[in-house]
Structure 1
Amino acid sequence: MRRTIPVGAPAALAPLASLEDLKADLGITDNGQDARLSSLLLEASGMALAYVGRSIMRAVWRDNITIEPGAKRLQLVLGRWPLLSIKAMSIGTVSLTPEQVEALNVDPASAIIYPADTGGRLWSAGSYTIDYTAGYALPGSNDPLLIPPNIQRAVRQIATGLWHGAGRDPLLKSEAEQGVGSTSWNVSAPGLGGLPQEAASILIPYRTAGFR
């Protein structure tokens, strides 16, 4: 069993893609719509995070993981990833030293912790508390671990759909002149939270699922 909570205030919602890239996608070169586009980027970012089902922005987290009596585990799987650093770890009432934390075998991309080479190969029954930093940095920073480009692209696709959909029936896909063409309707697939299918397909690998 695992419980993941933020340490301190949770990260505030912020745009997961840049305004400049969205304007380039839309072919907008002036600044007259910047406020509106920034608002749409924020809305699109919230929709993307709701679909993914977890925060992906950089923050400090605490996981409480319980291994039931008689059970053992090969790994401890943290609730947020990618993992940047482990700040502290305790097993029951015993805190690991910084050297012991440093010796742990870690898969940063998946935020999985394996026992140190000097100990046993399995985690024993008990209560584990891990404080750690995980998540991506926002676009525009010099951090090497930015929001992945495909997530940024998905957010821009959602924002583009919101931009073009303003003031029209969201189910209306196309409409020709009366007596000449026909009207077609765009029915959103269930479970996508209003996201375009292409954007949802990009975000699927980042959703919380499986062994987590």
Structure 2
Amino acid sequence: MRQTIPVGQPAQPVALALLADLKADLGVSDDTQDVRLESLLLDASDQVLTFIRRPILRAEWRDTLTLGPDEQRTGLLVCCRPLQAITAFSVNGSPWSVDAVAALNLAPDSGVIYPPDGWGTLWRCGRYVVTYQAGWTAPTIGDDGKPVLGDLPRAIQQATRLAAAALYHSGGRDPLLRSESEQGVGSSSWASPAAGSGGLPQAAADALRSFGGIGVR
């Protein structure tokens, strides 16, 4: 059995992609639409997080894992990942020292904690409480006005921009309309969300499949 709770205040909503990158995608060169585009980026970011269905942004968490007599395991799996660092660890109410915590063997991408050398090959039955930092850092703009790229995978950033662009192009038109044409002017078409994509464009949903998501087990 596992219980996961956040440590500290809830994180404020953040955009998962940079405004400048979205504007480049859209071919927007002035700042007259910045407020709207920033809002669309936040909406698209919420769509992406809802699709992935697990926390992915850097935060601190506390997992309580209880193993019964028949549940010895080679690794303890924390809920949030990538696992960046363990800040506290206790077994049956007894906290481990800083050195003991540092000696834990980790698989950051999968969020697995293996027993330290000398402990054995299995975690024994008991109650484990793990406080840890996990998740990626979204790109942002620093105090000097320059981009701080963070470590959020590019695929997630790209999917966010695709979703924001779809919201941008759908503004002011019938959401069920897939194409329109005007004689002597030309025609336009839009990619409609596919079933099971959580409202995202199909290309965005495809880019996010490896991170989990709706319909992924």
Fold-level match, TM-score > 0.5? yes
Aligned residue number for residue 8 of structure 1: 8
Number of equivalenced pairs: 208
Aligned residue number for residue 202 of structure 1: 207
TM-score with structure 1 setting the length: 0.90
Query: Greater CA deviation, 21-30 or 106-115?
Result: 106-115
Over 3 Å counting, the alpha-carbon distance change for 1:144 and 1:133 in structure 2 is: farther
Unaligned runs of 5+ in 2: none
Contact 2:139 2:149 in 1 (8 A): no
Aligned residue number for residue 71 of structure 2: 71
In the alignment, the residues of structure 1 paired with residue 149 and residue 98 of structure 2 have an alpha-carbon distance, to the nearest angstrom, of 25
2:180 paired residue among 175, 181, 202: 175
Aligned residue number for residue 23 of structure 2: 23
In the alignment, the residues of structure 2 paired with residue 171 and residue 13 of structure 1 have an alpha-carbon distance, to the nearest angstrom, of 29
In the alignment, the residues of structure 1 paired with residue 190 and residue 149 of structure 2 have an alpha-carbon distance, to the nearest angstrom, of 43
In the alignment, the residues of structure 2 paired with residue 108 and residue 143 of structure 1 have an alpha-carbon distance, to the nearest angstrom, of 23
Unaligned runs of 5+ in 1: none
Contact 1:71 1:125 in 2 (8 A): yes
Aligned residue number for residue 109 of structure 1: 109
TM-score with structure 2 setting the length: 0.88
Contact 1:137 1:143 in 2 (8 A): no
Over 3 Å counting, the alpha-carbon distance change for 1:4 and 1:101 in structure 2 is: same
In the alignment, the residues of structure 2 paired with residue 138 and residue 199 of structure 1 have an alpha-carbon distance, to the nearest angstrom, of 17
Query: Greater CA deviation, 91-100 or 151-160?
Result: 91-100
1:190 paired residue among 190, 195, 199: 195
Letter of the aligned partner of 2:41 in structure 1?
L
3-state SS of 2:197 partner = coil
In the alignment, the residues of structure 1 paired with residue 149 and residue 126 of structure 2 have an alpha-carbon distance, to the nearest angstrom, of 36
Letter of the aligned partner of 1:87 in structure 2?
T
In the alignment, the residues of structure 2 paired with residue 185 and residue 26 of structure 1 have an alpha-carbon distance, to the nearest angstrom, of 14
In percent, how many aligned pairs have the same letter?
47
Over 3 Å counting, the alpha-carbon distance change for 1:143 and 1:41 in structure 2 is: closer
Aligned residue number for residue 45 of structure 1: 45
Query: Greater CA deviation, 79-88 or 153-162?
Result: 79-88
